[in-house]
Chain A
Amino acid sequence: MWVYEKKLLYPVEVKECNPKLARYIAEQYGGADGELAAALRYMNQRYTVPDKVIGVLNDIATEEFSHLEMLATMIYKLTKDATPEQLEEAGLGAHYVNHGHALFYENAGGVPFTTTYIQAKGDPIADLYEDIAAEEKARATYQWIIDISDDAWINDSLKFLRERENVHSLRFREAVEVLKDERDRKKIF
């Protein structure tokens, strides 16, 4: 089970309305390499991996949900005071017609989230390699958003998230080594 914590993982400061930036951030909210995909992928894979790496998947999945909440906070605050005209100028006209000021799990191009973005192969090594790739793609996406954004406050939070992808990638790489060590030990005895 999970218990809600009434706080963000890391502060999100939004100083001005910027629906265009919100639209770009949506790539990490409901995109193929985004936080929703990551959270759902790891949470679902954790049932069929060896005991030694369950914690890695469980705890990173949990952290991804807190990243999702940070992104939602950014998108919500960057768009809440935008007029329909401003949303349209930012390329969010179709979003407004379908969702008003609500958030939605979609990518920067407005394509809705789909579980076809993620996989569970039932082979721990194959799954962990997918997870490493996912973290690296997410890290790259954060970099592209930071490159295109001139909002220093948002960029501070995005840089935190980018660094987390690095740490998660490292933990998944270590998890692969843990499994390889275990496999090699079984061969010897």
Chain B
Amino acid sequence: MDATERRDMLKNVQQADFVVVELTLYTNTHPDDQEALTQWRLAIKEAARLRKLYEKHFGPLSLHSIPSEQAIDTGWRWNQAPWPWQM
């Protein structure tokens, strides 16, 4: 996978995670909005799915993720560039 594909897959994760951030902020002040709560439950599943897809190829995004076999095989280490400001 090249840098463009990596960037695209990361963008999918960024988009999905952002939906979760936004719905979390919204439900903080609208705790009884059932539609928003339903959206939040769907959004967090979608974010987890896209995160797993990215991490399978490029290794964990956080230290709470279990490294995939592919990441282990390719010698993934947490302390490995690129960091976000280097991409």
Contact = CB atoms under 8 A, between A and B. Distances in A.
A59 B25 contact: yes
Given A5-B61, A69-B84, A11 B25 contact: no
A59 B85 contact: no
B85 A55 contact: no
Contacts of B18: 9-10
Contacts of B60: 6
Report the contact-size class of chain B (Cβ under 8 Å from the partner).
20 to 34
A178 B32 CA distance: 13
B42 to A, nearest CB: 19
B45 interface: no
A55 B18 CA distance: 17
Contacts of A76: 85
Given A3-B62, A73-B85, A11 B11 contact: yes
Interface in B44-81: 60-64
Contacts of A10: 14, 18
Which applies to chain B's interface (DSSP): helix, strand, loop or mixed? helix
Nearest to A54: B28
Given A59-B28, A63-B21, A167-B22, A3 B85 contact: no
Contact of A171 (B17, B28, B61): B28
A9 B14 contact: yes
Contacts of B83: 6
Contacts of A55: 28
Interface string A146-172: 000000000000000000000110010
B44 to A, nearest CB: 14
